[in-house]
Amino acid sequence: MSKKYKIIRLIILILFVISCIILIIEAATPGLQSANKSNTVSDTIASVINNISETITKEPKITNLEEFRNVIRKLVGHYGAFLIMSIFASLTFMMYFKKKIWWFFFAKVLALILFGFIFASITEIIQINTPGRYGAFSDVLIDFSGFMTSAGIIIIIYFIIFYKKYKNDLKENIILDDNNEV
């Protein structure tokens, strides 16, 4: 394993840990503070969309700001946050737990999926005990779907790489066995 690979692997692990810490801190942020942060992001996005819309059609595109805020909160605060964290989680699982055994690849994928669901559940449990917040199973599902979107893409890429290496190793072993038979 090259020094460059080890450094990249360490950086990804650090980003994974940092993203988990950020998600836990955000889950423990009191409701009013969390809503203010979320509303600032939502209002900025709504303003940009409405400015563009009014330039083109002379009418604002977003007329129900509360509904838009809720959509952005779920899309960015839940789905998007777990989508990003999952990139680092998936790469960490794939880069640190390496064995050239086919069943180990699937065990690692299962462990990654379980981690994503458990971590999404933990962040919602934290919110149950945070003033002005509530935990919801629907949010666990939104978090987990964000997690699985990135994880799924990375798993597919790693599976293709793993499968090609596995086939090449099998082919090399067959060639070596054929050469040894003489």
Higher pLDDT, 101 or 150: 150
Residue 115 forms part of a structural domain = yes
Residue 57 forms part of a structural domain = no
Q: How many domains does the chain have?
A: 1
Q: Quickly state the pLDDT bin for 182 (edges 50, 70, 90).
A: very low
Residue 69 forms part of a structural domain = no
For 131, the domain range is 3-40+82-177
Residue 129 forms part of a structural domain = yes
pLDDT, tens digit (0-9, with 9 covering 90-100), for 18-52: 999 999 999 999 999 999 999 999 999 999 999 99
pLDDT, tens digit (0-9, with 9 covering 90-100), for 140-150: 999 999 999 99
Inter-residue contact 126 to 50 (CB < 8 Å): no
Mean pLDDT, range 5-15, rounded to an integer: 96
For residues 146 and 62, give the distance between their C-alpha atoms in angstroms, rounded to a whole number: 25
Residue 75 forms part of a structural domain = no
Q: How far apart are the first and last CA of the chain?
A: 35
Rg (CA), the chain: 22
On the question of pLDDT at 179 being above 60, the answer is no
